[in-house]
Structure 1
Amino acid sequence: MKLNRSYLILTLILFITEVFIGIYLHDRLIRPFGGDLLVVILIYCLIKSFLNTPWLKTAVGTLIFSYIVEISQYFNLLSHLGLQNSKVAGILLGHSFSWGDMLCYTIGISIVMIIELIYSQPNNLPKTKII
């Protein structure tokens, strides 16, 4: 376990963005879809901030976790746990299933995978000159 400052900074930026979206945006596009797209990237960056795991396994694991949370909404997990009135549980787990959310999670992780794939290629690293 080693702290990765780059991922930690991205995590903090994404968290602040999510809070901003949740508090100030009440539209029909960014709040419902942009927030879901960003949340999987936030979870991925949070994991990579503290664990040196392979990016592909981390991305797939994050996507599976997100799907499980969304499917738990379909089965009304909060009600089964007696947490339907808990604001915190509602924020963390959500209340209603949506195929659109599943699509947003998939797009968010696809963005992560494309970026990681680009940065994992040795030929795409910035060139530095040693004098």
Structure 2
Amino acid sequence: MKKERSRMAYSIFIIIVISLGIASRYFSVYLARWIAKYAGDVLWGLMVFLWVGFSLKDRSTRFVGRIALIFSFFIEITQLYHAPWIDSIRKTFIGGLVLGFGFLWSDLICYTVGIGIGVLVEKIFYMDTKKV
């Protein structure tokens, strides 16, 4: 039997992951170079997975993972588009965190890893058997 996602737990996880992501940028000089370079993007992918899971709490892990991956890839692809209005949003703190600044293939890999971590952990702890 599938356990239902707890919105309270997911809210806490989202806050923790966002905090870790910001910390990975802020304390990057203290981290190994590859961790400093990729941790934020992996955590961003995990945060998107958690946000989608929070929003669609009755859907399967597989479905949540797919939506999170599509959303993450869409955001990354939009970074190829540079118009004054969207670049002005990107210049804000939140806009920069959500929309990013420039397209990188490595970001797609990082998002996939972060979402994969979310899927794996949720499959283990929530025993997802739903096939939606």
- TM-score bracket, normalised by the shorter chain, equals 0.7 to 0.9
Q: Look up the match of 1:13.
A: 16
More relative contact order, 1 or 2 (CA 8 Å, 6+ apart): 2
- Indicate yes or no: 2:107 matched with 1:101: yes
Q: What is the aligned-residue RMSD (CA, Å)?
A: 2.5
- The TM-score with structure 1 as length reference comes to 0.75
Task: Tell me the percent identity.
Answer: 25
What displacement does 1:55 show?
A: 1.8
Question: Which structure has the larger Rg?
Answer: 1
* In 2: Cα distance, 1:14 partner to 1:85 partner: 21
The counterpart of 2:25, out of the listed 15, 22, 27, is 22
Give every structure 1 segment of 4 or more consecutive aligned residues whose post-TM-superposition deviation is greater than 4 Å.
none
Gaps of 5+ in 1: 123-131
* In 2: Cα distance, 1:82 partner to 1:43 partner: 22
* In 2: Cα distance, 1:5 partner to 1:95 partner: 31
Count of matched residue positions in the alignment of Structure 1 and Structure 2: 120
Gaps of 5+ in 2: none
What displacement does 1:96 show?
A: 1.2
Q: 1:64-88 deviations in whole A, cap 9, x for unaligned?
A: 1110111111233x54635277233
